[in-house]
Amino acid sequence: MLDTRSNRPDLPAEIARRRTFAIISHPDAGKTTLTEKFLLYGGAIQMAGQVRAKGEARRTRSDFMKMEQDRGISVSASAMSFDFGQFRFNLVDTPGHSDFSEDTYRTLTAVDAAVMVIDGAKGVESQTQKLFEVCRMRDLPILTFCNKMDRESRDTFEIIDEIQENLAIDVTPASWPIGMGRDFLGCYDLLRDRLELMDRADRNKVAESIAIEGLDDPRLAEHVPAAMLAQLREEIEMARELLPALDPQAVMDGTMTPIWFGSAINSFGVKELMDGIGSYGPEPQPQSASPRQIAPDETKVAGFVFKVQANMDPKHRDRVAFLRLASGHFRRGMKLTHVRTKKPMAVSNPVLFLASDRELAEEAWAGDIIGIPNHGQLRIGDTLTEGEALKVTGIPSFAPELLQGVRSGDPMKTKHLEKALMQFAEEGAAKVFKPMIGSGFIVGVVGALQFEVLASRIELEYGLPVRFEPSQFTSARWVTGPKTAVEKFADVNKGHIAYDNDGDVVYMTRLQWDIDRIERDYPELSLSATKEMM
């Protein structure tokens, strides 16, 4: 029996009902379609089709940046809130392109669970696998949706085996598909002993659900042809024997994933998945922080910035910092302490991302995501509290894998370019390094596409044509150790040294051999490929 009550009756009801999650998938598996259906069931929009911007342009309303729309790819992670039953869902959108993996990683620090969407014909694809690994690093609970069952798909056991083997996670079926492709009838809901039949005629209609008293119920035969019913009984018997039963604690620990089968485009299986998110979601979790972790039910508000988006309104050079509330009950106008600078900050116009529009947030609870417009004070990794000096931990910055020099087309505008680059660095869109000797900047990114996006944004937002050119370096490492040792090291390696936008020392090279040698020759120093956002 599915328990739809709150999992944590000891939490304040408003917090216990929150489910903050992201969808991970390979492009084309159906993330956008599923998001639309979530919003449809969430009552956020009238018709699911409204989310999809004109025709084949593939994005949801979450991508409200005009420039993004022009560019045709989603580079933003935004949040959407909607109610489903007694639950409040906060869906955080992860950027789809593999080049933005760092952004995606940070987005996943702001959620309590992930929904993994796979295509029933394709199984676990490369991007799914990568994103899954990121979830695993954080032991995030994962719920799986096997999509496109209305098309020829793989054998159900084969799909489950592939997930178990490739991702090393136990899979437990929450539903079982009946037929596939053209013969796909629907699913048997193993958690509630119901028959869910798919209505092919109306794609926006909630599927018909028929209560059944177990697999021997004679009513099954009224809806499922004899041959398919025999196969269903046989498969479920096998599944119950061979596959682990649902263990909510294992789901919570991220060692087991329940799988639902469905067809997002036909609105089928979506509601059952949403019920699953409600039941196993889970509610907002404690947040790791220094010097102590933050519990969601603490009465004082604390939150952290996991994403900064600049120039959402090109007319004003404003930025929106996305804050995940880790604890407490936030009310508009509250004065919070910006822990990094120890300065007070009145949060007077926070934005809540309702599916239909941006809206002023009057209040928010632990688990919610609010947008805070600001002029650059808020950076990724920043913590806001009601006064206590807490610092949320575990939000990393990765060493870029690609480095290029950048030059302004107009040499008179170097200062202008520096300002633009610093903005992108603070937004987390790129790493910017100022070499110790020589002029110009070196920009580091994780994927090549980011150079193009940067060039177009610098031109659009700052009116500056820029040129990226090959750099002599291919790797960058943060140098840490005793201050005098770092300075001395920098001094003898001037040609390889640069400063990042926080002023931290970075060593650049094109040879792994150099990095190994330095680690040998300077035992008091460490060269690191990641840095905690400060």
Cβ at position 202, least distance to ligand GDP in Å: 14
How many angstroms separate the CA atoms of 429 and 423, rounded?
Answer: 9
Query: How far apart are CB 29 and ligand GDP at their closest, in Å?
Result: 5
345 vs 31, 321, 323, 334, 336, CA distance in Å?
Answer: 36, 13, 14, 8, 5
97 in a labelled binding site = yes
Within 52-71, the residues that bind ligand GDP by CB under 6 A are: 58
Which of 6, 7, 12, 28: binder of ligand GDP (CB under 6 A)? 28
Q: Does 25 contact ligand GDP by CB under 6 A?
A: yes
Kindly state the tokens that stand for 248: 């909510």
- Pick between residue 58 and residue 413 the one whose CB is nearest to ligand GDP: 58
Contact partners, residue 391, CB within 8 Å, separation at least 6: 289, 290, 339, 383
**CB closer to ligand GDP, 20 vs 263:** 263
- Among 28-36, 363-371, 379-387, 416-424, which window interacts with ligand GDP (CB under 6 A)? 28-36
Question: Is 114 annotated for ligand binding?
Answer: no
Q: What whole-number distance in Å separates Cα of residue 93 and Cα of residue 30?
A: 13
User: Does residue 30 have a known ligand-binding role?
Assistant: yes
Q: Is 484 annotated as a binding residue?
A: no
Q: Which of 209, 184, 176, 177 is nearest to 194 (CA)?
A: 209
Q: How far is the CB of 158 from ligand GDP (least distance, A)?
A: 19
461 is a site residue for ligand GDP (CB under 6 A): no
183 annotated as a binding-site residue: no
Give ∠ CA 411-417-418 in degrees, rounded to 5.
115
- Residue 93: phi and psi, rounded to 5, are -80, 125
Does 32 help bind ligand GDP (rule: CB under 6 A)? yes
Residue of 15, 16, 22, 29 that binds ligand GDP (CB under 6 A): 29
Residue (53 or 295) nearer to ligand GDP, CB: 53
Tell me the window of 192-200, 264-272, 381-389, 520-528 that interacts with ligand GDP (CB under 6 A): 264-272
Q: Whole-angstrom Cα distance, residue 269 to residue 260?
A: 7
Binding residues for ligand GDP, total number by CB under 6 A: 17
Q: Which of 74, 107, 144, 147 binds ligand GDP (CB under 6 A)?
A: 147
Q: Enter the tokens of residue 210.
A: 């028929």
Binding of ligand GDP by 30 (CB under 6 A): yes
Measure Cα distances from 217 to 176, 199, 221, 222 in Å: 16, 22, 8, 10
Q: CA–CA separation, 303 vs 301, rounded Å?
A: 7
Q: Does 31 bind ligand GDP (CB under 6 A)?
A: yes
Does 263 interact with ligand GDP (rule: CB under 6 A)?
Answer: yes
Q: Is 74 in the site for ligand GDP (CB under 6 A)?
A: no
The answer to whether the beta carbons of residues 403 and 474 sit under 8 Å apart is: yes
Instruction: Output 270 or 336, the one with its CB closest to ligand GDP.
Output: 270
Distance CA 197, CA 209 (A): 6
Nearest to 436 by CA among 489, 481, 386, 484: 489
| Furthest CA-CA distance within the chain | 83
Quick one: which segment of 31-39, 127-135, 307-315, 498-506 binds ligand GDP (CB under 6 A)?
31-39
Nearest approach, Cβ of residue 198 and ligand GDP (Å): 10
Ligand-binding annotation for 33, yes or no, is no
Q: Does 154 bind ligand GDP (CB under 6 A)?
A: no
- Of these, 121, 229, 265, 485, which contacts ligand GDP (CB under 6 A)? 265
When asked if residue 148 is in the footprint of ligand GDP (CB under 6 A), the reply is yes
Q: Return the half-sphere exposure (C-beta side, CA atoms, 13 A cut-off) of residue 182.
A: 0
User: Could you tell me the end-to-end alpha-carbon distance of the chain, in angstroms, rounded to an integer?
Assistant: 46
**421 in contact with ligand GDP (CB under 6 A):** no
Asked if 430 is part of the footprint of ligand GDP (rule: CB under 6 A), the reply reads no
Dist. CA 61–CA 53, nearest whole Å: 7
d(Cα 405, Cα 454) in Å, to the nearest integer? 13
The piece of 30-38, 102-110, 216-224, 385-393 that touches ligand GDP (CB under 6 A) is: 30-38
Q: How far is the CB of 130 from ligand GDP (least distance, A)?
A: 15
Query: What is the binding site for ligand GDP (CB under 6 A)?
Result: 25, 27-33, 58, 147-148, 150-151, 263-266
